[in-house]
């Protein structure tokens, strides 16, 4: 399967990440944890991440898979 990770970094420190495997945001700093709680309770924001998963990963996965098959 595909795992989509969307990391948010400030001053070279990752403070929050969306992970498609768990389907929600995880905070790594105090600020990130607060954002994660807010963003996880917002269906619109979670929906945007799911749309990115569909738009980017599933589309490119098909292209990569096709390219691999062409080489074998």
Q: pLDDT digit string (tens) for 7-66?
A: 999 999 999 999 988 999 999 999 999 999 999 999 999 999 888 888 876 666 666 655
CATH number at residue 9: 3.10.320.10
Check residues 72 and 16 and name the one with the higher pLDDT. Answer: 16
Contacts for 23 with CB less than 8 Å, ≥ 6 apart: 46, 50
Torsion (CA) 71, 58, 4, 49 in degrees, nearest 10: 160
Q: Which domain holds residue 39?
A: 5-70
CA angle 63, 51, 53 (to 5 degrees): 45
User: pLDDT value at position 50?
Assistant: 87
User: pLDDT value at position 24?
Assistant: 94
Q: Report the number of distinct structural domains present in the chain.
A: 1
């Amino acid at each position: 399967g595909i795992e989509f990770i969307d990391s948010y970094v400030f001053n070279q420190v990752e403070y929050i990440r969306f992970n498609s495997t768990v389907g929600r945001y995880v905070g790594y700093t105090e600020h990130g944890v607060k954002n994660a709680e807010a963003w996880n309770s917002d269906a619109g924001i979670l929906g945007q991440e799911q749309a990115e998963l569909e738009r980017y990963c599933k589309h490119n996965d098909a292209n990569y898979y096709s390219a691999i098959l062409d080489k074998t």
